[in-house]
Amino acid sequence: MSRKWQNNRMARYGKILATTVLLAIAAVFTACQQQGGNSYLRTPRAVRFQPVSTPLVKRSLSRLAREVNIKVRIMPSNARQRRGSRRLNPRFITIHSTANHSPSSTAMQHSRALCRGAFTNRSWHFTVDQFMCVQNLPLRETGWHAGTPAGNHNSIGIEMCECENRGHNHFRTWDRAAKLTAVLMKRYGINLRRVVPHYHWTRKNCPAPLLTNGKPGPKWAWFHSRVDYYYRCINEGKSNR
């Protein structure tokens, strides 16, 4: 067997191997796209969607609110979305997800964009990422996020960021949103059944990462169980469901 022939054969194997790897990557990527186009689906092992089994760590409402790390950046009072807003009747909490995977689409960046008027017909109360929560509207005022008058007039809107930058951790974002939701439930006496996905109002696939085939399923039940866990932490171990 000549060295030249061997080299040719190695080069051929190399090409076949490279093509196979590329096809495999493309297949995985396509599968992820088909399942919803989000890379969090590539890291499901990071989150086990099971009810919380850890013992309660009782704390006060204000202590849990501090853990949420709320910054206040209210939209300008003359912003288009705030004109004609009504008094909010907070009977529901509506959970959304931004579906924006750009690395810079953090809670603060979304809030800045909101304050600059980048989202012409939309507004919501809180934007959450893995590090902080930014309040964008006063809680006495309606936002434009639910897609129906009933949803807008009766619910507090929470947007969860899906930014994908170095070290991003969607679990921490969802956990922070669960803590915020528990704080708001306690403050306004809202029942867990009234913590709803955007889907509840318009059948939209939102918050997509916590829905299953576009509908509330095990992941949404998991989110509810986390909210309930934090609620019990600040309510003497008792649920409100």
Please give the helix or strand (H or E) that residue 96 lies within, else none: strand 92-97
Number of residues that bind Zn ion (CB under 5 A): 3
163 versus 233: smaller Cβ distance to Zn ion? 163
At residue 42, the 3 state secondary structure works out as helix
* d(C-alpha 133, C-alpha 69), whole Å: 6
Please give the helix or strand (H or E) that residue 158 lies within, else none: strand 155-160
Q: Note whether 96 and 158 are within 8 A (CB).
A: yes
Sheet with strand 70-72: strands edge to edge = 70-72, 133-135, 126-128, 155-160, 92-97, 195-197
Q: Is 96 in the site for Zn ion (CB under 5 A)?
A: yes
Q: Is 206 in the site for Zn ion (CB under 5 A)?
A: yes
Q: Is 210 in the site for Zn ion (CB under 5 A)?
A: no
176 versus 198: smaller Cβ distance to Zn ion? 198
Q: Pick the stretch among 47-55, 67-75, 123-131, 205-213 that binds Zn ion (CB under 5 A).
A: 205-213
Counting Cβ atoms within 10 Å, is residue 198 exposed (0-12), middle (13-18) or buried (19+)?
buried
Q: Is 110 in the site for Zn ion (CB under 5 A)?
A: no
Q: Is 134 in the site for Zn ion (CB under 5 A)?
A: no
185 versus 206: smaller Cβ distance to Zn ion? 206
80 versus 122: smaller Cβ distance to Zn ion? 122
159 versus 175: smaller Cβ distance to Zn ion? 159
- In sequence order, the β-bridge partners of residue 159 are 96, 127
How far does Cα 135 stand from its chain's mean position? 15
Q: Is 158 in the site for Zn ion (CB under 5 A)?
A: no
Q: Which of 125, 179, 194, 198 binds Zn ion (CB under 5 A)?
A: 198
Number of other residues whose CB lies within 10 A of the CB of residue 234: 21
Q: Pick the stretch among 32-40, 150-158, 196-204, 223-231 that binds Zn ion (CB under 5 A).
A: 196-204
Q: Is 179 in the site for Zn ion (CB under 5 A)?
A: no
182 versus 210: smaller Cβ distance to Zn ion? 210
Q: Is 168 in the site for Zn ion (CB under 5 A)?
A: no
Positions touching Zn ion (CB under 5 A) are 96, 198, 206
